[in-house]
Amino acid sequence: MDFNFIIHCLPLFVAAAKLTVTLAFFGIALSLAVGALCAVANYYKVPVLKQLANAYIEIARNTPLMIQLFFLYFGLPRLGILLDGKTCAIVGLSFLGGAYMAEAFRGGLVAVSKTQIEAGLSLGLNRFQLLRHVVFPQALAVAVPVISATAIFLMKETSVFSIVALPDLMYLAKDLLKEGHSAESNFLLVISYLVIILPVSLFFSYLERRFRFAGFGS
């Protein structure tokens, strides 16, 4: 391996990795927000919103991110909606992720037993207090493993962002391939993704353990 080449390219990979992390961060944060909204609409059986949320979840979960991005980036401008690459990436990732997060939250919410809710009611808690102090903390504990798996899945999905012309890690690796240093650029590509994903993955397994120990089984 040509270490001079690696050192020469390192700043490029750092910049690309930063872009990936930034987009993933906003995409995952928005996914959580969208997912929570859908799950609440579903949980409280809000008319119309519930049906809309369910239709959205099915559509987003049953189509690949790549075609969603293609449609956003190449289709929408022709309908008069122009989004730049970064916006497309974040919108696309949260469109996909929101549906998965909604399912994660839903699973947590249905896991809270009816009798726990009655215990909360019998203390005189109102609907909001019940959600805030009884339902949500318990639902979250059940949802955490699914949320973390989804977040990591979304981080990995960011690897397709070069199709909306974003200079991310894959884009860079493909570019360097032309210069004939494939071993070095592949090595940097793998290391970059490891540096991004491993800490997140370790953080989530720590979180899961904490929630398990705070755990349950009354």
Q: Under the rule (CB under 8 A), what is the footprint of another protein?
A: 58-59, 61-68, 70-71, 74-76, 78-79, 115-116, 118-126, 129, 133-134, 137-138, 141, 156-160, 163, 170, 173-174, 177, 182-183, 186, 189-190, 193-194, 197-198, 201, 214-218
Q: Which is nearer to another protein, 10 or 67 (CB)?
A: 67
Exposure string (b/e) for 68-85, b if CB count within 10 Å is 16 or more?
bbbebbeeeeeeeeebeb
To the nearest whole angstrom, how small is the minimum distance from the Cβ of residue 159 to another protein? 4
To the nearest whole angstrom, how small is the minimum distance from the Cβ of residue 3 to another protein? 19
Q: Which is nearer to another protein, 18 or 156 (CB)?
A: 156
| SS3 readout for 13-44 | HHHHHHHHHHHHHHHHHHHHHHHHHHHHHHHC
To the nearest whole angstrom, how small is the minimum distance from the Cβ of residue 136 to another protein? 10
To the nearest whole angstrom, how small is the minimum distance from the Cβ of residue 211 to another protein? 9
Sign, CA torsion 67/68/74/75: positive
Q: Which is nearer to another protein, 13 or 193 (CB)?
A: 193
Phi (first) and psi of residue 142, to 5 degrees: -75, -35
Residue 101 makes CB contacts below 8 A (sequence gap 6+) with: 31, 32, 34, 35, 36, 39, 147, 150
Q: Which is nearer to another protein, 10 or 66 (CB)?
A: 66
